[in-house]
Structure 1
Amino acid sequence: MKQFFLTILSSLFALVLLVSAAAQAKEGARESLADTVHYAAERIDCRFEEDTTIVLLGKAEVAYQDMELNAGKITYYPGQELLCAEGLPDTSDGKLRLTETPVLRDKEGSIRALSLTYNLKSKRGTLVEARANYRDGFYTGRRVRKLGEKTLQIFRGTYTTCNLSRPHYRFWSRQMKVLINDKVIAKPVVFYVWNVPVFWLPFIVFSIRKQRHSGFLIPRYGSNDIDGRYVHNLGYYLAPSPYWDAAVRGTLREQTGWMLDSEFRYHLRGRLRGTITGSFDNRATAIAQKRAWRLGFSHLHTLSPTMTLRGRGDFCSDKNFSVRNSTNLYSRLNRTLRSYLSFHKHWTGSGNSIDLTVLHSRNLDTDETSLYLPRISFRKARAPIFKPPKGDHTLAKWYHSIYYSFSSDFSHLREERTTGEYSRVNLSTNLYASAAQKFRTWLHLRPSVSWGMRGFQSQGEKFQRQESYSFALSASTTLYGFFQPHIGSLRAVRHTVKPSVAFLCSARLDTLDGFRYDLRKLRDPRTQVRLNLGNILQVKTGRGRKQRKFNLATWGFSTSYNPRAREKFSDLTTNVRVSPVKTFEVVLNSTHSFYTPGGEFRPSAPRLKRINLTASFRLRGKTGRKTSQPESSAPEGTEEVAGYTSSRMEETTIPPSDREVPYVFGISYRYSLVKSAGLPASVVQWIKGNLSFSPTSKWRIDWWVNYNLQKWRITTQQISIYRDLHCWEARLVWMPTGYRRGYYFRMNIKALPEIKIEKKKGIVGF
Structure 2
Amino acid sequence: MQPNLKYILFIYFLPVFFFGSLWAQERDSITPLDRELKTPQRIPYNDSIEVNFTENDLVELDTVKLDTVKQKKESFLTDNVTSTAKDYIRFDRKNGRAYLYNQGKIVYGDITIEAGLIILDNNKKEVYAFGIQDTSGTYTQRPVFTQGQNVVEPDSIRFNFETEKALVYNSRTDQGAFKVKGEVTKRQNDSVYYMKNVKFTTSEDVDDPEYYFYARKIKMVPDKKIVTGFVNMYIADVPTPLGLPFGYFPLTEDRASGFIVPSFGDNNQRGYFLQNGGYYFAVNDYFDLATLGSYYTNGSYDFRVQSNYKLRYQFSGAFNFRYEKLLNSEPGFPDFSERTVYNVTWTHSQDANANPNSRFSASVNLGSSQYYQQTINQTNTGNFLNNTMNSSVTYNKTFQGEPQVNLTVGATHTQNSNTGDINMTLPTVNASMSRIYPFEPKSGTKKGAIQNINFQYSVRGENRFRTNDSVFFQPEMFREAVSGIQHTIPINTNFKVFDYFSVSAGTSFQENWVFKTFERSYDENRQEEVIDTVRGFDAYRTYNFNTSVGTTIYGIFDFGKDKKIQAIRHTVRPSVSYTINPAFDEFYDTYLIPGTSGLEDEIVEYSRFQGSLYGAPGNRYSSSIGFSVTNDFEAKVRSKDTLAEEPEKRKLLSNLSFSSSYDLAADTLAMAPVQVRGTLPIIPSKLDINFNAALDPYALDNNNRRIDEWNINNGGSLFRLTRGNVSFGYSFSDKDFATGGDKNTDKVENDTFRQGGRTDDLFGKGMNYDGTFEDEEEEEKTVENDTERYNYKIPWDLRLSYTMTYNNLNRQNEISSHSLMFSGNVELSPRWSVGASSGYDIKNQGFTFTQLRFQRDLESWRLSFNWTPFGTRESWYFFIGIKASVLSDIKYDKNRERDRNL
Offset of residue 119 of structure 1: 8.9
Q: Deviations over 1:46-72 (max 9, x none)?
A: 4679x9864334442212233322223
Q: Which residue of 2 aligns with 1:170?
A: 212
Q: Deviations over 1:476-498 (max 9, x none)?
A: 11111123324654333211111
Q: Which residue of 2 aligns with 1:251?
A: 294
Measure, in 2, the Cα distance between the counterparts of 1:606 and 1:129. Answer: 88
**Aligned pairs for 1:45-124 within 5 A:** 45-46=90-91, 54-76=98-120, 83-87=127-131, 100-108=141-149, 110-117=151-158
Measure, in 1, the Cα distance between the counterparts of 2:881 and 2:757. Answer: 28
- For the residue of structure 1 that corresponds to 2:621, the secondary structure is strand
Measure, in 2, the Cα distance between the counterparts of 1:307 and 1:639. Answer: 26
Whether the 8 Å CA contact 2:318–2:348 is kept in 1: the answer is no
Between Structure 1 and Structure 2, the one with more strand by share is 1
Asked if residue 427 in structure 1 is aligned to residue 489 in structure 2, the reply is: no
Measure, in 2, the Cα distance between the counterparts of 1:357 and 1:306. Answer: 16
- For the residue of structure 1 that corresponds to 2:265, the secondary structure is strand
Gaps of 5+ in 1: 515-520
Task: Pick the aligned partner of 1:614 from 722, 727, 735.
Answer: 727
- For the residue of structure 1 that corresponds to 2:230, the secondary structure is strand
Whether the 8 Å CA contact 1:489–1:542 is kept in 2: the answer is yes
**Aligned pairs for 1:319-468 within 5 A:** 323=374, 327=378, 344-349=396-401, 350-356=403-409, 375-389=428-442, 392-393=444-445, 398-411=449-462, 421-422=479-480, 424-458=482-516, 459-460=533-534, 463-468=537-542
Measure, in 1, the Cα distance between the counterparts of 2:409 and 2:619. Answer: 33
Offset of residue 431 of structure 1: 0.5
Q: Which residue of 1 aligns with 2:788?
A: none
Asked if residue 759 in structure 1 is aligned to residue 759 in structure 2, the reply is: no
Offset of residue 636 of structure 1: 12
Gaps of 5+ in 2: 1-23, 34-40, 44-51, 467-473, 517-532, 590-616, 702-706, 784-792
Measure, in 2, the Cα distance between the counterparts of 1:85 and 1:281. Answer: 62
Q: Which residue of 1 aligns with 2:21?
A: none
AA in 1 matched with 2:217: Q
Relative to structure 1, the CA distance from residue 155 to residue 668 in structure 2 (aligned partners, 3 Å threshold; closer, same or farther) is: same
Measure, in 1, the Cα distance between the counterparts of 2:799 and 2:349. Answer: 43
**Aligned pairs for 1:683-702 within 5 A:** 683-702=816-835
Whether the 8 Å CA contact 2:807–2:814 is kept in 1: the answer is yes
Asked if residue 144 in structure 1 is aligned to residue 197 in structure 2, the reply is: no
**Aligned pairs for 1:25-40 within 5 A:** 30-33=74-77, 36-40=80-84
Measure, in 1, the Cα distance between the counterparts of 2:306 and 2:172. Answer: 42
Relative to structure 1, the CA distance from residue 401 to residue 182 in structure 2 (aligned partners, 3 Å threshold; closer, same or farther) is: farther
Offset of residue 87 of structure 1: 4.0
AA in 1 matched with 2:539: R
Count of paired positions: 750
Measure, in 1, the Cα distance between the counterparts of 2:175 and 2:437. Answer: 65
Q: Which residue of 2 aligns with 1:518?
A: none
Relative to structure 1, the CA distance from residue 319 to residue 57 in structure 2 (aligned partners, 3 Å threshold; closer, same or farther) is: closer
Q: Deviations over 1:459-482 (max 9, x none)?
A: 535643321111111111111112
Relative to structure 1, the CA distance from residue 106 to residue 542 in structure 2 (aligned partners, 3 Å threshold; closer, same or farther) is: farther
Q: Which residue of 2 aligns with 1:261?
A: 304
AA in 1 matched with 2:82: H
Q: Which residue of 2 aligns with 1:215?
A: 258
Task: Pick the aligned partner of 1:549 from 649, 657, 682.
Answer: 649
- For the residue of structure 2 that corresponds to 1:738, the secondary structure is coil
**Aligned pairs for 1:586-625 within 5 A:** 586-598=689-701, 599=707, 600-602=709-711, 605-615=718-728, 618-621=731-734, 622-623=737-738
Q: Which shifted more, 703-712 or 160-169?
A: 160-169
Measure, in 2, the Cα distance between the counterparts of 1:673 and 1:319. Answer: 29
Offset of residue 450 of structure 1: 0.6
Offset of residue 226 of structure 1: 3.3
Asked if residue 500 in structure 1 is aligned to residue 575 in structure 2, the reply is: yes
- TM-score (normalised: structure 2): 0.70
Relative to structure 1, the CA distance from residue 479 to residue 294 in structure 2 (aligned partners, 3 Å threshold; closer, same or farther) is: closer
Between Structure 1 and Structure 2, whose CA radius of gyration is higher? 2
Relative to structure 1, the CA distance from residue 299 to residue 644 in structure 2 (aligned partners, 3 Å threshold; closer, same or farther) is: closer
Measure, in 1, the Cα distance between the counterparts of 2:370 and 2:730. Answer: 43
AA in 1 matched with 2:304: D
Q: Deviations over 1:405-447 (max 9, x none)?
A: 2111334668888699456552321101222222344211111
AA in 2 matched with 1:143: V
Whether the 8 Å CA contact 2:42–2:81 is kept in 1: the answer is no
Offset of residue 320 of structure 1: 7.9
Name the Cα RMSD after superposition.
5.1
Q: Which residue of 1 aligns with 2:635?
A: 539
Relative to structure 1, the CA distance from residue 78 to residue 739 in structure 2 (aligned partners, 3 Å threshold; closer, same or farther) is: farther
Q: Which residue of 2 aligns with 1:517?
A: none
Relative to structure 1, the CA distance from residue 442 to residue 107 in structure 2 (aligned partners, 3 Å threshold; closer, same or farther) is: farther
**Aligned pairs for 1:196-345 within 5 A:** 196-198=238-240, 199-206=242-249, 212-269=255-312, 286-287=330-331, 305-307=356-358, 323=374, 327=378, 344-345=396-397
Whether the 8 Å CA contact 1:14–1:46 is kept in 2: the answer is no
AA in 2 matched with 1:560: S
Asked if residue 715 in structure 1 is aligned to residue 848 in structure 2, the reply is: yes
Relative to structure 1, the CA distance from residue 547 to residue 83 in structure 2 (aligned partners, 3 Å threshold; closer, same or farther) is: farther
Q: Which of structures 1 and 2 has the larger relative contact order (alpha carbons within 8 angstroms, sep 6+)?
A: 2
Offset of residue 506 of structure 1: 1.6
Measure, in 1, the Cα distance between the counterparts of 2:753 and 2:395. Answer: 37
Q: Which residue of 2 aligns with 1:732?
A: 865
- For the residue of structure 1 that corresponds to 2:282, the secondary structure is strand
Measure, in 1, the Cα distance between the counterparts of 2:801 and 2:388. Answer: 35
Offset of residue 713 of structure 1: 1.9
Q: Which residue of 1 aligns with 2:766?
A: 648
Measure, in 2, the Cα distance between the counterparts of 1:597 and 1:764. Answer: 49
Measure, in 1, the Cα distance between the counterparts of 2:648 and 2:294. Answer: 59
Relative to structure 1, the CA distance from residue 409 to residue 103 in structure 2 (aligned partners, 3 Å threshold; closer, same or farther) is: closer
Q: Which residue of 1 aligns with 2:665?
A: 564
Q: Which shifted more, 748-757 or 669-678?
A: 748-757
- TM-score (normalised: structure 1): 0.81
Offset of residue 608 of structure 1: 0.9
- For the residue of structure 1 that corresponds to 2:582, the secondary structure is strand
Measure, in 2, the Cα distance between the counterparts of 1:634 and 1:409. Answer: 33
- For the residue of structure 2 that corresponds to 1:399, the secondary structure is helix
Whether the 8 Å CA contact 1:451–1:467 is kept in 2: the answer is yes
Q: Deviations over 1:600-627 (max 9, x none)?
A: 2136621111111125555432347766
Q: Which shifted more, 184-193 or 99-108?
A: 99-108
Measure, in 2, the Cα distance between the counterparts of 1:478 and 1:146. Answer: 85
Relative to structure 1, the CA distance from residue 454 to residue 578 in structure 2 (aligned partners, 3 Å threshold; closer, same or farther) is: same
Relative to structure 1, the CA distance from residue 346 to residue 16 in structure 2 (aligned partners, 3 Å threshold; closer, same or farther) is: same
Measure, in 1, the Cα distance between the counterparts of 2:543 and 2:858. Answer: 71
Q: Deviations over 1:144-187 (max 9, x none)?
A: 35689987654321112333442211111233455666665444
Offset of residue 194 of structure 1: 0.4
Offset of residue 500 of structure 1: 0.8
AA in 2 matched with 1:428: Q
- For the residue of structure 1 that corresponds to 2:62, the secondary structure is helix
Measure, in 2, the Cα distance between the counterparts of 1:335 and 1:170. Answer: 48
Q: Which shifted more, 649-658 or 125-134?
A: 649-658
Measure, in 1, the Cα distance between the counterparts of 2:97 and 2:418. Answer: 88
Task: Pick the aligned partner of 1:530 from 626, 649, 671.
Answer: 626
Relative to structure 1, the CA distance from residue 389 to residue 248 in structure 2 (aligned partners, 3 Å threshold; closer, same or farther) is: same
Offset of residue 329 of structure 1: 7.7
AA in 1 matched with 2:662: Y
